[in-house]
Amino acid sequence: MHHEEFRRLGHAVVDRLADYFETVDDRPVAADVEPAEVMRHFQEPPPRSGKAGEEVLAELDEKLMPYCTHTGSGGYMGLITASPLPVGVLGDFIASALNQNVGVYSIGPSAVAMERETVRWLCELAGYGAGAGGNLTSGGMTANLIGLKLARDAVSSAHDSGVEGKWAVYTSEERHVSVDKAVDLVGFGREGLRAIPTDDVLRVRLDALEEALAQDKARGVRPACIVAMAGSTNTGAVDDLEALRRIADREGIWLHADAAYGGGLLVSGRFRETLRGIEQADSITIDPHKWFYAPVDAGAVLVRDAGALTRSFSIRPAYLTELDDAGERYAFYEHGLEQSRRFRALKVWMSFKRYGTDEIGRWVDANVDQARHLHALAEAHPRFASITEPPMSAACVRYLPRRELDEDSVHRLHDAVAARIERGGEFWIGTTRIKGHSWFRACPVNFRTTREHMDRLFALLERECAVLEAAR
């Protein structure tokens, strides 16, 4: 592609995206289309010859754009995927053009420096001191895996000789599935995970944790790690991080805090105290692509002692030797899981520089207010209930049918209502099960969402639930 063609197509792409951002709230949040129909648009043999760039863009207009879920819409409140800040989108554009591989210093000196500084900002926001460090990752799944590997290597010799004996990891019944996968992948096995029951506000019950620890030690199973919720996916619940630190210290084990979602409160002007004690965790997962509004993918693992990353991951193959007698060329591959690494820091760095943590924090606070408004609407209604006042932006509300139905029927009703709302195009919400009951789950991590969105969503829930119940 000649540079003039790139210039022409680039301007066309930016114009399309500017129009998209301007109209995103006017579009159906999700397409009412069956998967088979979408697949038919892409079923063709590999192209043997190319076509003009304008024709390729026209195909995107026809095949891609009509069938996207518009996470930037104010009505998107489903899985925790944020509305991307436009400056972050530009950051991804630039990062792709520069194609810096920040796994190795020599393939991106300034990109490596930018990531190190971005990680330092996140560590400072979390309350970590000068010895902290971390990596930007693909997301919370990878960050939690790194945290669990650090935990394993801190308490055992598995780093060199493999896992020997039985070990256990303790976490909330409200954990993210990435914790289960990480426990499996580091060699403790899925049977090594202990899902601890929660209390009425969905925090880990400390008495149940103590009982599980005692039972394991009596059977010869060794504790390895506590994974604390610092903003659970379902409800934003935050465990008692200070109490869990005391238990981890007593047992001589690692404390990892999963704040993939909840880390957004680190920039909150009003709710930062919800994460009290997070700076005492040995490692923390935070996803800037959730509540810092960065485009996917941009997760992060932060470590109170950066040396733990080096001890756990450092291997120097001959083909990656750096000409670095002074030891100043920081190579991320020596201090983390990935070797080839995308230049994820640029979109996060640009977002912080363009908006500042104060402005981002105001959006975070607004999202919490929106969730609490939905909670209040449900609590004031005779046919709805809310599981708890949201500590973050995830609100779980439940319809209470007029006639007695078994829980499976109630679950089907909730799923059917959510499906009807999705097909309607104004909102995208999810459903979940907590404490044996079904709930609608609305979780705005979106700077375009307003209180009025919540009013309209609740009115729609009220209407659709009544219609479907009457039809049954």
Residue 322 in this model has a pLDDT that exceeds 70: no
Residue 316 in this model has a pLDDT that exceeds 90: no
Q: In the structure, what pLDDT confidence band is assigned to residue 240 with cuts at 50, 70 and 90? A: very high
The total number of structural domains in the chain stands at: 2
Residue 323 in this model has a pLDDT that exceeds 60: no
**Average pLDDT, integer, range 83-94:** 96
- Both 133 and 266 in one domain: the answer is yes
Residue 164 in this model has a pLDDT that exceeds 90: yes
- Both 157 and 217 in one domain: the answer is yes
pLDDT for 2:
86
- Both 118 and 51 in one domain: the answer is no
CATH number at residue 318: 3.40.640.10
pLDDT for 79:
92
pLDDT for 333:
86
pLDDT for 471:
82
| End position of a domain, from candidates 335, 352, 369 | 352
**Is 76 within a domain?**
no
- Both 197 and 130 in one domain: the answer is yes
Q: In the structure, what pLDDT confidence band is assigned to residue 74 with cuts at 50, 70 and 90? A: very high
- Both 27 and 141 in one domain: the answer is no
**Average pLDDT, integer, range 20-34:** 93
Residue 378 in this model has a pLDDT that exceeds 90: yes
**Average pLDDT, integer, range 75-100:** 96
**Is 412 within a domain?**
no
**Is 432 within a domain?**
no
Name the residue with tokens 């004996």.
165
Q: In the structure, what pLDDT confidence band is assigned to residue 106 with cuts at 50, 70 and 90? A: confident
- Both 167 and 100 in one domain: the answer is yes
Q: In the structure, what pLDDT confidence band is assigned to residue 64 with cuts at 50, 70 and 90? A: very high
**Is 391 within a domain?**
no
**Is 414 within a domain?**
no
**Is 81 within a domain?**
no
CATH number at residue 16: 1.20.1340.10
- Both 56 and 100 in one domain: the answer is no
The whole-chain average pLDDT of the chain stands at 95
pLDDT in tens, 395-423: 999 999 987 888 889 999 999 999 999 99
In this structure, the number of other CB atoms found within 10 A of the CB of residue 195 comes to 17
- Both 297 and 193 in one domain: the answer is yes
Q: In the structure, what pLDDT confidence band is assigned to residue 321 with cuts at 50, 70 and 90? A: low
- Both 20 and 114 in one domain: the answer is no
Alpha carbon distance 299, 16 (integer Å): 28
pLDDT for 318:
67
**Is 201 within a domain?**
yes
pLDDT for 223:
98
pLDDT in tens, 173-219: 999 999 999 999 999 999 999 999 999 999 999 999 999 999 999 99
| Range of weakest confidence among 303-312, 322-331, 424-433, 459-468 | 322-331
Tokens, residue 344: 């994820």
- Both 123 and 51 in one domain: the answer is no
Identity of the residue numbered 43:
Q
**Average pLDDT, integer, range 41-56:** 94
Residue 327 in this model has a pLDDT that exceeds 70: no
| Domain limits for position 177 | 93-352
- Both 114 and 60 in one domain: the answer is no
**Is 269 within a domain?**
yes
